[in-house]
Amino acid sequence: MKTVLVASSKGGVGKTTLSTNLAARFALDGKRTVLVDADRQGSSRHWATKRAHLEHAVLPVDGTRRDWDRKVPDDAQRVIVDAAAGSHADELEHFLNAADAVVVPIMPSTIDMEATVPFLDSLAKHPRIRKGKLPVGLVGNRLRPWTTASQQSMDTLRQWPYPLVAELRDTQAYVLMAGLGRSLFDYQSQQVREHQADWAPLLKWLKRA
């Protein structure tokens, strides 16, 4: 079983988008996949419920309770945790102890990046991260690469102590697919495949983690 924690102290950065699309990708790859939703809004669980009738369904688990791990089936191969917004390392400790990798989405704005620094500082104090036993990867999200703001933000992130493992372009497709319980990986149009390519570095990084 491999567990991926998607977390950020900043709301609205795309945690649920990352979590649901990763879960769908693993399920489409034939992995028995569980999506643990630790946010009380329950957006990830609602998405998984809408997907329940599909061949490549994802099992939703309520992650707002401390005993969430008891609800994960023994035969699960991939577990994606969509952490609650506003959480810091001390509130995520039970997830950090179980995780094999941590993914932190960041929006390309000064406000979002400045808000993420204290969160990363709190992660750095966790024993597994401090000792290099739990990898942390940054994901630039909702990027508009043709803009100076996005380019400068990604240049800044590349200088941070954690690796920038993916740069995901902005598209309304994520919103439309989420409403159907689907993901970017459920479709194969030319336009969608171009956005799927943005995920390749992240998937490769997770495979090594």
pLDDT tens-digit map of 141-172: 999 988 998 999 999 999 999 999 999 999 99
Superfamily per CATH, domain 2-208: P-loop containing nucleotide triphosphate hydrolases (3.40.50.300)
Q: How far apart (Å, rounded) are the C-alpha atoms in residues 17 and 24?
A: 11
Q: Please give the structure tokens belonging to residue 112.
A: 């979002």
Give how far the C-alpha of residue 152 lies from the chain's centroid of Cα atoms, to the nearest Å: 23
pTM for the whole thing?
0.95
The 10s digit of each residue's pLDDT in 73-82 is 999 999 999 9
Q: Which helix (H) or strand (E) holds 113?
A: helix 110-124
Q: How far apart (Å, rounded) are the C-alpha atoms in residues 178 and 44?
A: 9
Q: How far apart (Å, rounded) are the C-alpha atoms in residues 118 and 55?
A: 41
Q: Please give the structure tokens belonging to residue 139.
A: 């994901």
Q: Please give the structure tokens belonging to residue 60.
A: 């939703």
Cβ 116 vs Cβ 104: under 8 Å: yes
